[in-house]
Amino acid sequence: MALSRHPLFLLALQPCVSRLELGTAQQLFRVGSPPRYIHFVEEGAVRLVRHSRQGEEVVLQDARPGELLAEASLDTSRCHCDAVASRPSVVLRATTADFQRLLADDPDFARSWMALLAAQLRTARARVERLSLRSADERIRHLLRSEGQGSRCELEITGALKDLARSLGLTHESLHRALARMQRDRVIARKGLWLSLAKEKDLRA
């Protein structure tokens, strides 16, 4: 859930935050490092990743503007993953000490924090459900319906297609084929960086 929906949360954080600019592929933090900040993305996109024994990148989160990042590290002694900018990005961050003080002293802030965590949990559950689907087409439709906006579930692709493929548990080639097939069959529409479900009249054609 975007932080813009929680103005009291942002107002309480404002005196505590600093602004950090990241270039594409620049790391925000590394696995094993002590968590000094709670972050949220103001511009761009930052993904949380781990690496398998075979060296493959596993995307845990693809944070977009207005979304929290690494909130699970608030009460841990070390970061559990790497954070990498998918494209030029701006991140706002507050120290964990300031964040914990606000949680203890400001009930409205604490309630907003709980609402944000609940939204993050719903998003994580949707991703688990999506990865359980067998076909690439089903995963793409699920992504649009669960994260897209408006009647046609419009969704902007952040980063490269290979990043989207990783988040869907697909190879870049299989995602490319699925998008081309679904666009050809008028299941989805694609314009620039935007994907959406096709218009109802197109589906009937």
With contact defined as beta carbons under 8 Å apart, do 167 and 62 qualify? yes
Q: pTM of this prediction?
A: 0.69
Mean pLDDT of the chain: 85
What is the residue extent of each domain of the chain? Answer: 3-129, 135-204
In whole angstroms, give the CA distance from residue 51 to residue 79: 14
The top-level CATH class assigned to 3-129 is mainly beta
Q: If you ran DSSP here, which 8-state letter would residue 71 be given?
A: G
Q: If you ran DSSP here, which 8-state letter would residue 76 be given?
A: S
* Tens of pLDDT, residues 156-181: 887 678 878 888 989 999 999 999 99
Residue with tokens 């609940």: 118
Query: What pLDDT score does 156 carry?
Result: 87
Name every residue whose Cβ is closer than 8 Å to that of residue 179 and which is 6 or more positions away in sequence: 140, 188, 190, 195
Residue 114's identity, in one-letter code, is: M
* Tens of pLDDT, residues 92-124: 898 999 999 999 998 988 888 888 888 878 888
- CATH code for the domain defined by 135-204: 1.10.10.10
36 pLDDT more than 70: yes
